[in-house]
Amino acid sequence: MSTSIRERSYFHAGSRTGFLLIHGLTGTPIELRYISNGLSRAGFTVSVPQLAGHCGTLEDLKPTRWQDWYASVEAAHAELKKHCDVIIVGGLSMGAVLALKLAADHPDDVHGLSLFAPTFRFDGWSIPWYARFFALVNDNWSADKFLFTESEPYGIKNVRFREFVMNAIHSDDSSEAGLPGTPGRSLMQLRYLTKVVQRELPTIRQQALVLHPREDDRASLANAELIQRKLAGRVTTVVLEDCYHVITLDQQRDVVLEATREFGWTIEKQFAASDKVAAAAKPQIVKGLSVNR
């Protein structure tokens, strides 16, 4: 690990039902702390890993590929399995896309999905029209000519908290609120990831909760609608008012927490019930006889 990268992963031990929450591109686990703390108070085990190349400098992030970010997720998932029988995977923005990838690859070990402002395309109202031409870039040399800098409103509608995020982004510690910009090479890797996951959506059968802001400045509601249309499992979509992209921190964060917590309890009860049915159907040996109860 680069000496400029600060480790921000964290883990809250709780019940045998766990949440694996994944931060976004150029982001940090801190953007999920409010939600993770609330889930922990509700009794869940919560793991929030730090993705490869993050919480450091732009130069730390640039060489990493989407496969490196996904490897961080798989490693955290493998560790969480040691503590939990039921696992719900979620994430913010690109983190939601990585969560979908994990569900596709590990259908028996991911039991539900909680997706916060999932982002397949940056097509929100604050994205400049000319950004669409970056889709024509497909090599590192050309991608390295681009740096997409963060600007108002920083995914936050709450003015007071936006100011805090703005100051943190432009400080020397990117582990607090993420990097001040996104390298073109990293955006190109995100595009490669989303293409893979879009093809896999019809194979994903886990139940999903999607929370997406109507006024998302970075990723329009079309991203949530894509999941609603393509996912094979049941999808519940909640459209949030009065907030922007970073819904885990913005003005509706309590709504996000409550919906996620309720979803966690629902999934927990479903799998507890299925385990009881399986146990009841299992043959029992009584005095040498096999009987079904």
Can you give the residue range of the structural domain that contains 123?
Answer: 10-291
- The answer to the question of residue 5 being in a domain is no
The CATH number that applies at residue 143 is 3.40.50.1820
Whether residue 257 has pLDDT greater than 60: yes
Which position has the token pair 């929030």?
48
- Say how far apart CA 207 and CA 205 lie, in whole Å: 7
Strand 208-213 and strand 112-116: pairing?
parallel
Please compute the mean of the pLDDT values over residues 220-248 and round it to a whole number: 97
- The answer to the question of residue 3 being in a domain is no
- The answer to the question of residue 1 being in a domain is no
Helical ranges in the chain per DSSP H: 33-41, 58-61, 66-81, 94-105, 140-143, 159-169, 174-177, 184-200, 222-230, 253-281
Structure tokens at 173: 């510690």
Cβ of 190: how many Cβ atoms within 10 Å?
21
pLDDT tens readout for residues 27-41 = 999 999 999 999 999
How far from each other are the two terminal CA atoms of the chain, in whole angstroms?
A: 55
pLDDT tens readout for residues 161-176 = 888 777 777 666 655 6
- Say how far apart CA 114 and CA 91 lie, in whole Å: 7
Q: Chain-wide mean pLDDT for the chain? A: 89
- The answer to the question of residue 243 being in a domain is yes
The amino acid present at 167, given as its one-letter code, is: N
Distance of CA 116 to the CA centre of its chain: 7
pTM value surpassing 0.85: yes
- The answer to the question of residue 167 being in a domain is yes
Closest CA to 90 of 264, 272, 274: 264
- Cis peptide leading into residue 63 (ω within 30°): no
SS3 92: strand
Which position has the token pair 């927490």?
257
- The answer to the question of residue 229 being in a domain is yes
pLDDT value for 176: 61
Number of domains the chain contains: 1
- The answer to the question of residue 4 being in a domain is no
Which position has the token pair 């964290």?
10
DSSP 231: -
Q: Which residues contact 234 (CB under 8 A, 6 or more apart)?
A: 207, 208
CA atoms within 13 A on the CB side of 133: 5
Q: How confident is the model at residue 290 (pLDDT cuts 50, 70, 90)?
A: very low
Q: What percent of the chain has pLDDT over 70?
A: 89
CB-neighbour burial class of residue 219 (10 A; exposed 0-12, middle 13-18, buried 19+): buried
Query: CA-based Rg of the chain, rounded to a whole angstrom?
Result: 20
- Say how far apart CA 154 and CA 32 lie, in whole Å: 16
- The answer to the question of residue 2 being in a domain is no
Strand 289-291 and strand 284-286: pairing?
antiparallel
pLDDT value for 152: 78
